[in-house]
């Protein structure tokens, strides 16, 4: 079995036994998705990079302890979320979210070099993303967090429960209310944007 096929818990165990390749694999698996989550949450690249680096520093300092039924994924997102919250509280600022329209976790840059139909489509997608971002920014913090974890990071309800440290019922209500709000708010925003 190659190192790419080993589960997270085993990689963590191997890392704590001085296998540096195990840490590299964990970092490779999670750095981009943690960065995207943190960036969407804080709206600031530097803060997002700090959150990711501090998350992995905590892992390296052996602060990560497996709780019964917990996974590395939920631990990492919980730590990143807490670091982002701390940063936002210390700055006492409102935050905006950045995200891409597609389902990919990959970072995407949109460059408009041509005024042909493809460039117009890219511009339209960017404008649509900004309209959706504007609507998501209006959500209360907990609803925004739950929605981002579910829709953009593919977390299960149970994983969201662990990250947000609340009940399953609350997570379901948060996501339901966020979706209902977006269904109500997006049509007028889409009309404004056109």
The mean per-residue pLDDT over the stretch 152-173 comes to 92
- Domains of the chain, residue spans: 1-96, 113-194
pLDDT above 70: residue 39? yes
More confident residue, 110 or 136: 136
Rounded (10°) CA dihedral 99, 57, 66, 173:
-30
pLDDT band at 176 (very low <50, low <70, confident <90, very high): very high
pLDDT for res 107: 44
Domain 113-194: which topology?
Arc Repressor Mutant, subunit A (1.10.10)
pLDDT for res 156: 92
Q: The whole model's pTM is what?
A: 0.55
pLDDT for res 123: 53
List, for residues 80-120, the tens digit of each pLDDT value: 988 888 887 776 543 344 445 455 554 433 333 233 344 44
The CATH architecture assigned to 1-96 reads Orthogonal Bundle (1.10)
pLDDT for res 69: 60
Contact, 9 vs 72, CB < 8 A?
A: yes
pLDDT above 90: residue 42? no
pLDDT band at 2 (very low <50, low <70, confident <90, very high): confident
- C-alpha distances (whole Å) from 185 to each of 97, 133, 176, 181 are 17, 12, 14, 6
Centre a 10 Å sphere on the Cβ of residue 34 and count the other Cβ atoms it contains.
Answer: 25
pLDDT above 70: residue 125? no
The two domains 1-96 and 113-194 share their CATH topology (first three levels equal): no
| CA dihedral over 87, 89, 91, 96, signed as positive or negative | positive
Contact, 22 vs 14, CB < 8 A?
A: yes
More confident residue, 50 or 9: 50
Q: How far apart are CA 49 and CA 47, in angstroms?
A: 5
pLDDT above 90: residue 172? yes
Q: How far apart are CA 82 and CA 95, in angstroms?
A: 15
pLDDT above 50: residue 25? yes
pLDDT for res 106: 47
pLDDT above 80: residue 24? yes
């Amino acid at each position: 079995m190659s190192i790419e096929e080993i589960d997270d818990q085993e990689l963590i165990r191997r890392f704590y036994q001085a296998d540096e390749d195990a840490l590299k694999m964990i970092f490779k698996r999670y750095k981009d998705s943690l960065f995207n989550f943190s960036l969407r949450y804080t709206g600031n690249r530097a803060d997002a990079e700090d959150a990711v680096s501090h998350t992995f520093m905590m892992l390296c300092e052996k602060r990560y302890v497996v709780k019964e039924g917990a996974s590395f994924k939920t631990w990492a997102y919980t730590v990143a979320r807490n670091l982002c919250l701390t940063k936002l509280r210390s700055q006492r600022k409102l935050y905006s979210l950045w995200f891409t329209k597609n389902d990919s976790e990959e970072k995407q840059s949109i460059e408009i070099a041509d005024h042909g139909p493809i460039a117009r489509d890219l511009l339209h997608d960017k404008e649509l993303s900004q309209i959706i971002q504007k609507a998501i920014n209006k959500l209360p913090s907990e609803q925004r967090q739950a929605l981002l974890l579910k829709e953009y990071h593919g977390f299960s309800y149970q994983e969201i429960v662990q990250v947000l440290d609340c009940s399953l019922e609350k997570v379901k209500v948060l996501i339901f209310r966020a979706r209902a709000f977006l269904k109500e708010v997006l049509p007028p925003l889409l009309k404004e944007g056109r």
